[in-house]
Structure 1
Amino acid sequence: MSMLTLERDRPVREPDDPRRAAAARRALSRWVLRLAVREWKQRILIVLLITVATAATLFAIAVASATPGTPNAGIYGTAQTLVQLPGNTPGLPGVVAKIERAYGSASVIYDQPIVTGQAGGADLRAQDPNAPYTRVLLALDSGRYPTAAGQVAVTSGLAQLYRLRIGSVWHVPASAGASAGRAFIVTGIVENPSNLLDEFALVPPGQGAGLASSQNVRIFLGISMDSAAASAAGNVIPKNATVTAPQPSDSITSPATIVLIVSVLGLAFIGLVATAAFTVMAQRRQRALGMLASLGATERDVRFVLIVDGVVAGVLGAIIGAALGLGLWFWYYPHLETATAHRTDPLNLPWAAVVIGLLLAVATSVIAAAWPGRAVSKVPVVAAISGRISAPHVVRRSLRPGLIFLAAGLFVLYFSGGWNGGGGDAYLVIAAMIACVIACALLAPFAVDRLAQVAGRAPLATRLALRDLARYRSRSGAALAAVSFAVFLATIAIVIASVRYDDALDYIAPNMASNQLIMYAPGNDPTQYQPGQVTPAAKLAASRQEADTLAAQLHAPAPLELDLAVSVNVTAQGQPTENQSGALVSLHGPGVGGRMYLATPALLKTFGVSASQVNPAADVLTVRAGLPATGGLALVSGSFIAESPPGCPAGSCILNPVIQEVGKLPAGTSLPNTVITEQAARALHETIVPVGWLVQAPAALTPVQINAARQAAVAIGTTIETKSGQLGLGQISEGATVGGILIALGVLAMTVGLIRSETASDLRTLTATGAGWRTRRALTGVTAGVIALLGAALGTVAAFLASLAWAHSSLTQTFGNVPWADIGLLVIGMPLVGAAAGWLLGGRAPSAVSRQPLE
């Protein structure tokens, strides 16, 4: 009876005097701070958890906000309308003046393409650096802008190509029209900060001072053509002009949405890892808190101790994490500029989101500390002093809310529109994803409990580890939720990337491999001209010979000739008479992008495709998996594209062509990934024109080799193309997989260390009874492996359920190209690595076989 009386909690009255309450709070705060200093070795892990999570969140916010840049600014500057005119427009100066009188002041840029040996070339450009709408398209790196005739400023790429520096004399290449051969003195190095890939030589503004003629004129207007003022001014733009306007960027991938996603998910990550840490800390302090309660402290006082603990850890972690995250950002942003090809102001960050992230880190730390504090404060005094663990909560309390959150998230995703829903439901999708993550956190304790119930026939170490997880499932559940969170994000990223890269009509892939190079025939650079033009015989022979020489220098096989099937001398409205290549078009939407080379016997042999593997009735061969099953397609000639006649007339159109998938064809966008057969070219009455040569070296091309090839191309007036920075599905998927595994293993290492330290008394008892290093290793290995396996399974299942609900109307498109090997690596490989690491690092014997002393 006396023991029952001792264990019964009796409420203690709060001090009536507010001054006594304040003094008690100060005393408790000082006690917490002294303990924090004394237990710095235990605290450093908790602060490290919050620091890493905060730094990762702030770094992700910075990268997410800076990566997209301002795509419209790279084309339109700050203008509302862009008018492009051919340089041969009759009375061009008068036309430009008339447009300015009608629509207000304008910024005008004159461009004359020049050949630089690299696909894309460069421009000889007349532009005013102080023009109102194009200032963001021009920046001075060194020197000064040209101000008089005979002066020029060049980009760093041209300076490197022509070995120029400030004060050098540059002679315009022969490809620059009437300006060819002119000599200019270099006055500065410039760039387009919105597009660092834009190569140009800047001359004084206006046509005549530095630019003898132009091929293209861009007029930037500050007025929208849809406005009332533009309607009142009338239409004074010539018919041969192209008028475009910036496109709105409000979508699910907008920087604001990305920052919101990163901030909220970063908060969830901080909360999960901090909850696990503070739960262990609260359990470790249970005896000291019991002694505090025996001296008259109320439940509120006990909770106050842990809240102050959370404030101290949260503030320290937020400050150190902010310094670390911003330091990483200032180190990384130059590399980001290179990867995204635009300048980034490192201080132009969404500071409101950064401050909110820091405040949320502290607030989440406090909540994570208060949650276990609530449970510890209700432990009876005698039980707390004895160090006994209270019985776990009934798992149904977390099972039901978990199922409710999961059902709510899937319901919202199901009705959010999927891939065709646009950007209007972006915030609903975010909320639904967060609901799925919360469901994982709530279902984690249930999964741990159910696994422990089936461990009766397992070996001793395994049985003890599983039962410890269930016994301490408030902290093991938080660790499991954190792992499932990382796996959930990685799986979602892999699925979305696989869908984006599996669109047969809007094909996305790297342009070519790092060991491949294409030398184009003069006049057939696809980035500057309409490919398929007939090259004079002498230039064609010189280009072919140069391609052979280049292949020999690179120890590569003989170059492969790339041919296009074209309609000769096609006249299109607003365009010069030229050869027009055929295309595979969709009758119900956008066409199939990319050039369609001719499937010559040499091309098929180069890629290992034998004649017996080709369907004799095939019109098109492709490596794109979904293209043969795509309906509503037509294979058309160049004349059909120019005239757009009704129906599908024979001789210029093949409706529903026979498309055969050939996996041996290359996947690059600039390579023959989709080719037209010779019989289809004959049916469309097309002419075969050589347009380039593909060189495949035995190893990746070095910058020196690429520069030498570029110099050789300049000498004969043509261009080359090499691998660009476009990532492939494999690179994105592998990056998401590796990132998810690293985050999960990092969380696993920290949380398993906390959980095993919580069971240190059990480990001492096992050691005292004769358990050896194998048992200790097995305990840690099983703990790590089980948490990793359950977290991977829970995160993957939740991610696939979310994907199924969101894209229920296009399941084939969503799951047809998922790299299952990467998913398997997450679900199987990561738990094996975690278990192996735990087994290798978990054999250390306890320092002493004794009871933990009171703090």
Structure 2
Amino acid sequence: MSAFRAALRISRRDALRFKGRTALIMVMIGLPVLVITAVLTGAATTSITSRDKLDSRLGAADARIVTTPFRTAVEQRADGVITTMRQSQRAGRPWTPAEIGTLLQGRLLRYQASIVHARLADGYSRVDVFEADLRDPLTRGMRRLVEGRFAAAPGEVAVSPALIDSGVRIGDTIKTWRPDRSVRVVGVAEHPNRPGLREMLALPEGLLPHQNDGNDSGWLIDTAAPVQWPDVRRLNEVGLGVESRALIERSDTGDSGPRDLHGLVELGVAVVLIVTETVLLAGPAFAVGLRRRRRELAMIAAQGGSGRHLKTIVLADGLVLGGAAALLGAALGIGAGLAVEWFAARRLDWTHGPADVPWASVLGVAALGVVSALTAAIVPAIQASRQSPVHVLAGRAAVDTPGRAGRPVLGAVLVLLGVAALGFALHRGMLSVALASTLVVFGLVALMPWLVQATGRLAGRLPLPLRLSVRDASRHRVRTASATAAVMAATMGAVTLGIGLNSDYVDQEARRNSIVPADTLMVRAWKTDDQGWARVRALVQQKLPGVSLVNGLAVTDAQGEPVYLNLALPGGCTSPCDLRDFPGAVEVADEEVLAFLQKRRDPQAAAALAAGKAVAFSPGAVRDAMLTIQVENGDDKPVTTLRVPAVAAAPAEAGQTGALIPPSVLTQAGLKVQQRTFYAAYTDIDDQRLSTEIRVLIGDQAYALVERGTAESRFVTLLILLGAALVLVLGGTFAATGLAAADMRPDLDTLSAVGGAARVRRLVVAAQAAYISGLGALVGLAAGLVSGIALTWPLTRTVYGRMELFNPGATTIAVPWLFLAGVVVGLPLLAALVAGLFTRTRLVLARRVA
């Protein structure tokens, strides 16, 4: 123990002396601990239980009685959630307080809630409404008054802070639609579990009409005794739901973590991969410390210290630095998780509960951080025990044993097993692919020292900077292999996810099944005259200044009711039915609409449309040059069919389906066609809000819809992956390059002393960074291509929640070549550039001992 305590003191002193190295190691180890702890803390605080919601749901009441549409028996859980409700031919009559009093005695307080559309500074928005007399002590805790007062009369409301952020102020008048009312703001109050909620608070029927039909209405009740399960069942029998404080406090135990084997396996895979990457990243940093302390350790050995003592000193570095990094990362992670959750809950309307730190999980993550640090220090500790004190004290550089190159046979076996497992995992799901890919990662880690040694034999054919760098990396292959393996693992992960997710996005785009191209706004209305339609057009043009609107057509029956046109399935669909089996909708169009939807001029398709023929984007729907179109006039009217001559034409995008039909065909069939549609190539607009504004303007028979593609989501996802790869690749490369530069300093000084220019030193260090990151990136690319293609099977063969196992045509493989070039070529070049720019070129003369 005395030797161990001495080792800890030496490690603590060394950590304080070399602050830069200490900070590097602590960041490598502490950053994963910080991130995981922040995610766990934020998730625990966001995930609220029924017990956490008691104040916002019940206030100070003993129970919350919830009305249902019918006076038929219901079944519910102990937390008040209704699981079964018997239907009835007609709605039950409204409940009265006197009837409730005969079932459960106590003081009742009315409440009701709904959603309205309120006109704010940026247009109409959906706003929640909760109505109860919040001045009553029974509602204490339901909302927290921030400013002003609660509503005291009909037509008054308190608003949430989210509406204040939208420009509402106390004293303002807010106009609502459905119901059409105007209310005055008298205060600001916050929902305790949804601080980002847009909400207005009023007295019962102060804004909403009377609700007693199950549309979130009922009573809070203060009873003489706690409401027990027999009381709840008695109210359930007559069609009332009950949230009982006593039952919820007894029954709600919260989440206890993953309960199934699948969840535990996922957690285990994530832990193994995180620890492995942390070890590979931190290993070179510990090796830096060993190189810096070689002389100190040699002096200890010369004075009688054994190899076991030297191992203990280096492992103590892992314990001291890993422990400090884990504790600091956990502490900062808890603070960061709570801060991010608090901010997100207010900005993104997340659920929010009391600060909740899952201590067992956090301590487990911190322990993993310490284990990672100790594991990363094992190889440097073994090296320290084997170094020659004579060579070190003589100033000779330490190199790895020439004949030893990792475990190539074990690595090759693991890689082959991993590739075979990937073939088996194709039809088993994403978790199986992850497990098989983990085998490949471990195999390549074991192979990496041999790969470093093998590439070192090619150094003689390279230019001088690369020759020096590759030979030095090969001589110190343990250090090099660790950093290269870290780059490999990061690159493999990025390539795998990049291919899988990009293929998934491309598959979603192909399954989109819409007649309009992506990023298109479509506005349509019925039952409005030309003046009303002109007002709609003016409103949209005001919202989209400078955007060209393409006129389209809408079809109605003789009474003005909307008619829906769809292509009939000529041959049915495969089993299970794929979205691509459905031919799609039919739009009424002229030549301008055709050109807009095809994003080009197609003379043959335009001529067919002018001749009264339909133009189909779904070639499979055309049989014998004819289309079968289903005409639906409403739920209570029979579906009729039209047979129309048609030609097939290529759409602008693979996801477009359906057909275009000339208006003459429909007018001949007795239908009415009007200019009540237009299209715009624009998506930067809230289509739900625009729909509300149009309906406020002309009535319910209108909507606005943006057909959104996957391009923006795909770009953001790949950018995030590239950023993660950037951090990991550059981190591992710079750690190893810094160590290499320190080891090569005598050689670089000799190079400068014999006339080598400063740029040669920069080129040597840059070449070292390029070699480490380049080799890791190339190996990671090869492995990532295999595992990424395997990942496309479970990602793109899932249809309606069921995986298609033996249909090769259902797999979409889309390799994002530009993204791969950025990871495999761009990141190594960036690493080389940065390493070369920040290299010290000052010559340091030193006397050497022969």
User: Normalised by the size of structure 2, how large is the TM-score?
Assistant: 0.71
Which residue among 35, 38, 41 is the counterpart of 2:14? Answer: 35
1:730 maps to amino acid: F
Q: Tell me which residue corresponds to 1:611.
A: 602
Give me the whole-angstrom Cα distance separating, in 2, the residues matched to 1:80 and 1:759: 69
Q: Which residue of 2 aligns with 1:272?
A: 280
Relative to structure 1, is the Cα distance of residues 141 and 613 closer, same or farther in structure 2, using a 3 angstrom cutoff?
Answer: farther
Instruction: State how 1:1-80 maps to structure 2 within 5 Å.
Output: 22-59=1-38, 80=81
Structure 2 letter corresponding to 1:373: A
User: Structure 2 CA distance, aligned partners of 1:505 and 1:261?
Assistant: 32
Is residue 152 of structure 1 aligned with residue 152 of structure 2? no
Query: Aligned partners of 1:579 and 1:777: how far apart in 2?
Result: 73
1:808-834 CA-to-partner distances (Å, cap 9, x unmatched) read: 557766653332211121111122222
Number of residue-to-residue matches in the alignment: 753
| Structure 2 CA distance for aligned equivalents of residues 583 and 320 of structure 1 | 63
CA deviations 1:744-784 (Å, max 9, x no partner) are 12332232112221222322332333322232122111111
Question: 1:599–1:160: structure 2 CA closer, same or farther, 3 Å change rule?
Answer: farther
The amino acid that maps onto 1:36 is A
Residue 715 of structure 1 and its aligned partner are, at CA, apart by 5.6
The more displaced of 441-450 and 342-351 is 342-351
* Pairing 1:250-289 to 2, within 5 Å after superposition: 263-289=271-297
From the superposition, tell whether residues 818 and 596 of structure 1 become closer, same or farther in structure 2 (CA, over 3 Å): farther
The answer to whether the 8 A contact 1:85-1:217 is kept is no
What is the CA deviation profile of residues 698-756 of structure 1, one whole-angstrom value per residue up to 9, with x for unaligned ones? x978x9x9999998985666876789999521221223223322431233223211222
Paired position in structure 2 for 1:443: 447
2:839 corresponding residue in structure 1: 842
More displaced stretch, 735-744 vs 249-258: 249-258
Change (3 A) 1:821 1:468: same
User: How far apart in 2 are the matches of 1:561 and 1:86?
Assistant: 46
Query: For the structure 1 residues 846 and 210, does the alpha-carbon distance in structure 2 shift closer, same or farther, using more than 3 Å as the test?
Result: same
Residues 1:405 and 2:414 aligned together: yes
Cα contact 1:54–1:270 (8 A) shared by 2: no
Task: Give 1:790 shift.
Answer: 1.5
Number of the residue aligned with 2:652: 663
Kept in 2, the 8 Å contact 1:155–1:201? The answer is: yes
8 Å CA contact 1:171–1:184 kept in 2: the answer is no
* CA pair 209-845 structure 1, distance change in 2 beyond 3 A: closer
What letter corresponds to residue 736 of structure 2 in structure 1? Answer: T
* In 2, Cα distance between equivalents of 1:40 and 1:738: 27
Counterparts of 1:46-195 in structure 2 under 5 Å?
46-59=25-38, 80-81=81-82, 90-91=91-92, 93=94, 111=114, 113-114=116-117, 116=119, 121-122=125-126, 125=129, 142=146, 149-154=154-159, 164-166=168-170, 168-173=172-177, 175-176=178-179, 180-181=180-181, 183=183, 186-189=186-189
Matched residue, 1:242: none
Q: State how far apart, in whole Å, the 2-side matches of 1:352 and 1:725 are.
A: 42
Could you say which residue in structure 1 is the equivalent of 2:501? 497
- Which one of the candidate residues 530, 536, 539 is aligned to 1:546? 539
Tell me how far apart the structure 2 counterparts of residues 555 and 720 of structure 1 sit (CA, whole Å): 18
Q: Alignment partner for residue 483 of structure 1, among 443, 464, 487?
A: 487
* Aligned-partner Cα distance in 1 for 2:87–2:677: 27
Q: Partner residue of 2:209?
A: 212
2:472 corresponds in structure 1 to: 468
Check conservation: 1:142, 1:189, Cα contact below 8 A.
Answer: yes
Q: 1:783 aligns with which of 768, 779, 792?
A: 768
Equivalent in the alignment of 2:726: 741
Out of 641, 648, 653, the position equivalent to 1:651 is 641
Corresponding residue number in structure 2 for 1:306: 314
Letter in structure 2 aligned against 1:489: G
Of 751, 761, 765, 2:746 maps to: 761
Is 2:378 the counterpart of 1:370? Answer: yes
| Deviation of 1:474 (Å) | 0.6
- Deviation digits for residues 451-491 of structure 1 (CA, Å, limit 9, x no counterpart): 11122211222111111111111111111111122222222
Q: Deviations over 1:514-548 (max 9, x none)?
A: 9x876x45xx6xxxxxxxx4335543232234335
Q: Alpha-carbon deviations, 1:665-685, whole Å to 9, x = none?
A: 9x8xxxxx6563115995896
**Take 1:662 and 1:786, find their aligned partners in 2: how far apart are those partners?**
47
Deviations 1:275-330 (A, max 9, x none): 11112322443343233223322222111111112112212322443455455545
In structure 2, the partner of 1:3 is none
- Asked if the contact 1:583/1:638 (under 8 Å) is kept, the reply is no
Q: Which residue of 1 aligns with 2:226?
A: none
In the alignment, structure 1 segments of 5+ residues that lack a partner are 1-21, 222-228, 238-248, 525-532, 571-576, 668-672
Are the counterparts in 1 of residues 195 and 352 from structure 2 also a CA contact under 8 Å? no
Counterpart CA distance in 1 for 2:552 and 2:475 is: 68
Q: Specify the SS of the correspondent of 1:651.
A: strand
Checking the alignment, whether the CA contact within 8 Å between 1:86 and 1:215 is kept in structure 2 is no
**Counterparts of 1:215 and 1:688 in 2: how far apart (Å)?**
42
Distance 1:88 1:24, change over 3 A: same
Partners of 1:253 and 1:733 lie apart in 2 by 31
- Structure 1 residues 194 and 182, CA gap change in structure 2 (3 angstroms): closer
- Alignment-mate amino acid for residue 45 of structure 1: L
Q: Structure 1 residues 765, 325: CA separation in 2 closer, same or farther (over 3 Å shift)?
A: farther
Q: Aligned-pair distance for 1:799? A: 2.1
Mapped partners of 2:10, 2:747: distance in 1: 29
Give the match's secondary structure for 2:460.
Answer: coil
Deviates further, 255-264 or 148-157: 255-264
Q: CA deviation at 1:53?
A: 4.4
Deviation at 1:139, TM superposition (A): 5.9
SS at match of 2:641: coil
> Which among 652, 659, 662 is matched to residue 676 of structure 1?
659
Q: Quickly say closer, same or farther: Cα 1:759–1:728, change in 2 above 3 A.
A: same
Name the counterpart of 2:822. Answer: 825
Find 2:302's aligned residue among 294, 298, 302. 294
Amino acid at match of 1:678: I
CA contact (8 A) 1:412 1:432 kept: yes
Contact 1:111–1:124 (CA under 8 A) maintained in structure 2: yes
Classify the secondary structure of the residue corresponding to 1:677: strand
Q: Does 1:750 align with 2:735?
A: yes
Matched, 1:555 2:564: no
* Aligned-partner SS, 1:728: helix
Question: Contact between 2:631 and 2:641, CA under 8 Å: does it hold in 1?
Answer: no
CA distance in 1, matches of 2:630, 2:210: 34
Residue 599 of structure 1 deviates from its aligned partner by 4.7
In structure 1, distance between residues paired with 2:714 and 2:383 = 47
Distance 1:566 1:714, change over 3 A: closer
Residue identity in the other structure for 1:833? L
Q: Tell me how large the CA RMSD over aligned residues is.
A: 5.7
Contact 1:582 1:638 in 2 (8 A): yes
Q: What CA distance in whole angstroms lies between the structure 2 residues aligned with 1:29 and 1:478?
A: 25
Distance 1:456 1:470, change over 3 A: same
Q: Provide, for residues 369-403 of structure 1, a one-character-per-residue CA deviation record: whole Å limited to 9, x for no partner.
A: 12221233134554454445354375664223323
Q: 1:186–1:42: structure 2 CA closer, same or farther, 3 Å change rule?
A: closer
Gaps of 5+ in 2: 57-75, 219-231, 241-256, 794-804
Contact 1:379–1:390 (CA<8 Å) still a contact in 2? no
1:122 maps to a residue whose letter is R
Question: Which SS does the other structure have where 2:208 is aligned?
Answer: coil
Structure 1 residue 621 and structure 2 residue 588: aligned? no
| CA distance, structure 1, for counterparts of residue 785 and residue 298 of structure 2 | 46
* Corresponding letter in the other structure for 2:844: S
